[in-house]
Amino acid sequence: MVLTAAITLHHFFMENSLQKLIEDSSSILITSHISADADAVCSSLIVRSTLVANYPNKKVLVDLEEVPESLTFLPGFSTIHASPLDREVAKFQPNLIIMLDANNFDRCSRVGAEKTRRYIEANDVKVAIIDHHQPEGKDDVDLYIGNDSPATTQMAYDIFFGKLKMTKPTGYAEIALLGIMNDTNRFLYDNPNHRQTFSIISDLLDAGASIEKLEFKLNRYTKSQLVILAELISNTVVEEGMTYSYLGSKFRDKNLKDDSTAADLKVGCDLYLNNYVRNFENNSWGFIVYPDIASSSGHWGFSARSVGGSVDVSKIAHKLGGGGHISAAGAKISAKTAQEALNKAFGAIGAKSFAKITPGTNL
């Protein structure tokens, strides 16, 4: 009972500290990680629309360096700025930055993290983080709120509506439902906070949100996305205990020629990660390596998934400079070729039996 009371008091302090930071600020910038997924977008939209509804005299802006076009149907999507973070911070001149679904500025900007930090220090900008990932590598900020919630959208919902009792804005139900659905993989992942999750989901459904209608809007695929999925399936390597795949330089040069394919790349990779990489034979975990076409050449993405934490993939990602959850994590790898990126991934895994693997000829 004493421990429970202490935890409750700690949460009360954190949430009220956030409210004070908000109330003391006249301009608030909200941001999240690069390659923004639905949880990043939805948590950002929830926080923005809530602040606008409850503090109409404050300036509130969302800036995400990369925005998925598949989510344009969401209420408030058109309010999102898609600009380099350091430029938007200098232009908007916020008193407070709220970082969601990420714990450091390197996760929020491809090239502008240090410029952003310098601006914050020079102008005494306050920074608050709300994030449900593992805390390794987090920036030193004014306020950090982290827990084992399955989605940052769920954290935002609980903080602003459950704890701080703020007025819910128009469109909140569909936005919150999608954010939570996305990071729970349609409620498939193990979830220590399942009671809170399904209580919130029940409230959202009662408010008019529809899982069926959201699935209908989301499950639309382009030929390019399916070509990416097919290549990952074709390149699959199944080892004892682990599965992996890759998109090589030849595939990149032929099929991923410009930035317009970045969204297709994310969708195709997510299809493979969520439906295949953990499901080959008796394997319960795996990863993919793919060209990071949104960055300059010489950068590769690493994404890993495991069933029920059978392998803590966040530790592997952290060795590569990234992070995430025990069961889902990612990183960016500096490498000239897919083979070099794969070798670095094998090195982070630390299993000598994988280090000698030479994939097929599609590198």
Looking at residue 12, its pLDDT comes to 64
> What does the pLDDT average to over 119-146?
95
**Which of 200, 217, 234 marks a domain boundary?**
217
Give dist(CA 348, CA 338) in Å, integer: 15
Asked whether residue 93 falls in the same domain as residue 170, the answer is yes
| pLDDT for 7 | 40
What's the mean per-residue pLDDT of the chain?
90
361 is a domain residue: no
Q: Which CATH number does the domain housing residue 276 bear? A: 3.10.310.30
Structure tokens at 303: 């994404």
Query: H helices of 300-351, where?
Result: 313-319, 338-349
Q: Say if 300 falls within a structural domain.
A: yes
Residue 210 domain flag: yes
* 148, HSE (Cβ side, Cα atoms, 13 Å): 8
Q: How many CB atoms are closer than 10 A to CB 287?
A: 28
**pLDDT band at residue 25, thresholds of 50, 70 and 90?**
very high
Domain with 318, as residue range(s), is 223-355
- Spatial strand order of the sheet with 96-100 comes to 59-63, 27-32, 96-100, 126-131, 143-146
Question: Does 96 lie in the same domain as 244?
Answer: no
Domain contains 363: no
pLDDT above 80 for 362: no
362 located within any domain:
no
**Which of these three, 217, 240, 255, is where a domain ends?**
217
172, 198, 217: which is the final residue of a domain?
217
Split at pLDDT 50, 70, 90, the class of 354 is very low
**What is the tens place of the pLDDT at every residue in 266-277?**
899 999 999 999
User: How large is the average pLDDT for residues 217-246?
Assistant: 93
Q: Are residues 60 and 189 in the same domain?
A: yes
Mean pLDDT score, 303-309: 90
Same domain, 165 and 111: yes
Domain count, the chain: 2
For residue 5, pLDDT over 50 is answered with no
- Check pLDDT > 80 for residue 126: yes
Question: Tell me, what's the pLDDT at 355?
Answer: 40
Q: Are residues 284 and 342 in the same domain?
A: yes
The pLDDT tens digits for 164-221 are 999 999 999 999 999 999 999 889 888 989 999 999 999 999 999 999 999 999 888 8
Beta bridge partners of 306: 285
